[in-house]
């Protein structure tokens, strides 16, 4: 994966974290974005080193600031529409409000990206948010994220979901 692609992946993960923070704390969006962007640029994280049985500092991948900002601002601005779309993609007894909060933020950001970022292929969007779900969960949640975003992608980007099969000449 290229450095640019890793920066976009980092932006998606950071966007979900920012959306979660705004939802839980009610903190102002601009302040949350500023804090995330400042703490991630040139920052370090702690990772487990199983050989040494200790934590070691590792450099963070710098998030693509443009994508991060676009995802967070756009998701917040279109939240009501996005939640209605998510509700429609869930089974009848579920709604976006009943989902665990991190899952809800993953689906919101993924739905916004499917809606507004047609420059990014839908399969990339779905795969990236399934990866974000895997960062938080080891259970069935990534499968839920995959299923809901796939249903939404089929509605929002029908041209991308049509399989293109090569034309074969009929036998003579």
At 132, is the pLDDT very low, low, confident or very high (cuts 50, 70, 90)?
A: very high
Beta bridge partners of 54: 49
**Residue ranges per domain, the chain?**
3-156
φ and ψ of 45, to 5 deg? -125, 165
Burial class (CB in 10 A: 0-12, 13-18, 19+), 92: exposed
**Whole-prediction pTM value?**
0.83
Q: What is the spatial distance between Cα 157 and Cα 7, in angstroms, rounded to a whole number? A: 25
- pLDDT score recorded for residue 85: 95
Q: What is the spatial distance between Cα 17 and Cα 23, in angstroms, rounded to a whole number? A: 10
Backbone CA torsion sign across 84, 120, 130, 161: positive
Q: Which of 15-24, 91-100, 103-112, 118-127 is the least confident region?
A: 91-100
Inform me whether the pLDDT recorded for 108 exceeds 70. yes
Angle of helix 101-116 relative to helix 141-156, nearest 10 degrees? 20
End-to-end CA distance of the chain: 46
Contacts of 160 (CB under 8 A, 6+ apart): 121, 122, 123, 153
Q: What is the spatial distance between Cα 62 and Cα 37, in angstroms, rounded to a whole number? A: 9
Q: What is the spatial distance between Cα 51 and Cα 130, in angstroms, rounded to a whole number? A: 29
Inform me whether the pLDDT recorded for 105 exceeds 70. yes
- pLDDT score recorded for residue 167: 43
The fold of the 3-156 domain, in CATH, is: N-utilizing Substance Protein B Homolog; Chain A (1.10.940)
Inform me whether the pLDDT recorded for 91 exceeds 80. yes
pLDDT per position as a tens digit, 17-70? 999 999 999 999 999 999 888 875 445 566 777 777 787 776 667 888 999 999
């Amino acid at each position: 994966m290229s450095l640019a692609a890793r920066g976009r992946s980092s932006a998606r993960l950071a966007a979900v974290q920012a959306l979660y923070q705004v939802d839980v704390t009610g903190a102002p969006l601009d302040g949350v974005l500023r804090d995330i962007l400042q703490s991630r640029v040139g920052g370090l994280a702690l990772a487990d080193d199983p050989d040494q049985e200790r934590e070691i500092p590792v450099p963070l991948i710098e998030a693509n600031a443009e994508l991060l900002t676009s995802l967070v601002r756009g998701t917040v601005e279109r939240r009501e529409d996005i939640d209605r779309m998510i509700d429609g993609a869930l089974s009848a007894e579920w709604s976006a409000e009943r989902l665990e909060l991190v899952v809800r933020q993953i689906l919101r950001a993924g739905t916004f990206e499917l809606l507004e970022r047609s420059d990014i292929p839908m399969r990339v969007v779905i795969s990236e948010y399934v990866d974000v779900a895997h960062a938080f969960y080891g259970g069935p949640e990534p499968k839920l994220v995959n299923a809901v975003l796939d249903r939404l992608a089929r509605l929002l980007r029908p041209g991308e979901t049509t399989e293109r099969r090569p034309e074969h000449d009929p036998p003579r």
